[in-house]
Amino acid sequence: MTNVLEAVLQDVDQQLTDGFTLPATWYWHEAVFVREREQIFSRMWQYAGPSDWISEPGQYFPCKAGQTPLVVTRGDDGEVRAFVNICRHRGCAVVRGRGDKGSLQCPYHAWTYGMDGSLRAAPRSEREPSFDRAEFGLAPARAEVWGPFVFVNADPNAAPLSETLRDLPAAIAASGLDVSKVRFHERAQWDPQPINWKVGVENDLECYHCSIAHPGFTRFLDTRPDAWGMETQSTYTSQTGLMREKVIDGTVDSPYDINGEVKRSQAHVLWPNVAFHVLPGQHNMTVMSWRPTGPQQTIVTQDFYFSPDASEEFIADYRRFDAEVGGEDEVLIAAVQEGLSSGVFPHGRLLLDSENLIASFQRWLYEALQ
């Protein structure tokens, strides 16, 4: 561990400044994965799912912050809370899927917890003179809601979500999307991808690859360097784009019906591992997250949100377009991982004019691992 991380930390600082990427070892080594789990995924806010899943008291859903299993609940008092989804008896996962029973019952021996995490019942515990139920509530974590999104943090003492979001909600609104106008539609989740989570995030941080890798996307949006907006804020990065003139005037077909109030595409990556994508047209948003389950294994989820009156046809066209672009990326990021894990590639070289958002992300990562 020391060799891989400690010995190179000073070198990496200078290499990032000089435009080099993080060392390739940081994309496959177990020691880096463990350090990321401790320093990032155990203590930072992560997207969990749609607030629709806990819109009513008594509803709950399981999720994970990094490797930490959590359950998000809404209590009778209306409060949204999160707890570690591990039974205090012998460690079984308490809930496996979404529910609305108003209590959380472990399937192993039926210990039952309230939506406030307290242990309400433990069969036969009355036969144990020294057993005190009050000592065995679910361990607390944190949950907060922003618009239609629930975020969780495994650290019960984490600073509020607003300190991570900063002015991202305002930036999204300024680019023309009102998050209160989208409703959760569906979650897409794939088999675990054979990539380090950072390869997935970094692919989302530049459109330098768009003209060669995404011909349909590039026909639709103006991805030329002077037209493509890129900004780094303290906790997130933003890319914005406009539709090509020929798409607007109808000379070139659009991939879906582009009529609507949203005029710009937006792609915001919120540190550490979630992206919000908006395409021009009627209100829409996809939320992508990359959750590592190993140094070279990542669970990618994509939650689709649309305006409640979006037509089936619009949704089908939109998703066909999105799947086309996503499929093009999937092949490329797997190929990047192969190169990074080969052992013969020390690090890459960024083009800082086009890939400065990757440089920001890698700097945040470096600082988090210090």
Residue 65 forms beta bridges with which residues? 68
Binding partner of residue 329 among ligand FES, Fe ion, none, CB cut-off 5 to 8 Å per kind: Fe ion
DSSP classification of residue 20 = B
The size of the interface with ligand FES (CB under 6 A), counted in residues, is 9
Contacting ligand FES within 64-103 (CB under 6 A): 87, 89-90, 92
Query: Binding string, 163-202, against ligand FES, x = CB under 6 A?
Result: ----------------------------------------
**Any contact of residue 269 with ligand FES (CB under 6 A)?**
no
Nearer to ligand FES among residue 83 and residue 256 (C-beta)? 83
Please, which residue, 123 or 216, has the CB nearer to ligand FES?
A: 123
Binding segment for ligand FES (CB under 6 A), chosen from 55-63, 105-113, 210-218, 353-361, is: 105-113
118 burial via Cβ count (<10 Å: 0-12, 13-18, 19+): middle
Is residue 329 at the binding interface for Fe ion, with CB under 5 A as the rule? Answer: yes
**Contacted entry of Fe ion, ligand FES, none for residue 349, CB cut-off 5 to 8 Å set by kind:** none
Cα angle: 43, vertex 47, 48; to 5 degrees: 100
**Which residue stretch of 108-116, 135-143, 202-210, 286-294 sits at the interface with ligand FES (rule: CB under 6 A)?**
108-116
Which pairs count as long-range contacts for 358-362, CB under 8 Å and 24+ apart, including other chains? 358/21, 358/202, 358/205, 358/206, 359/16, 359/19, 360/232, 360/237, 361/198, 361/201, 361/202, 361/205, 361/237, 361/269, 361/271, 362/16, 362/21, 362/22, 362/202
What is the token pair recorded at 1? Answer: 């561990």
Q: Is 234 helix (H, G, I), strand (E, B) or coil?
A: coil
> What would the two tokens of residue 152 be?
């969780």
Tokens (6 digits) for 319: 């998703």
Instruction: Please choose which of Fe ion, ligand FES, none residue 111 contacts, taking the beta carbon within 5 to 8 angstroms, the exact cut-off set by kind.
Output: ligand FES
Residue ranges that bind ligand FES, judged by CB under 6 A: 87, 89-90, 92, 106, 108-111
Residue ranges that bind Fe ion, judged by CB under 5 A: 329
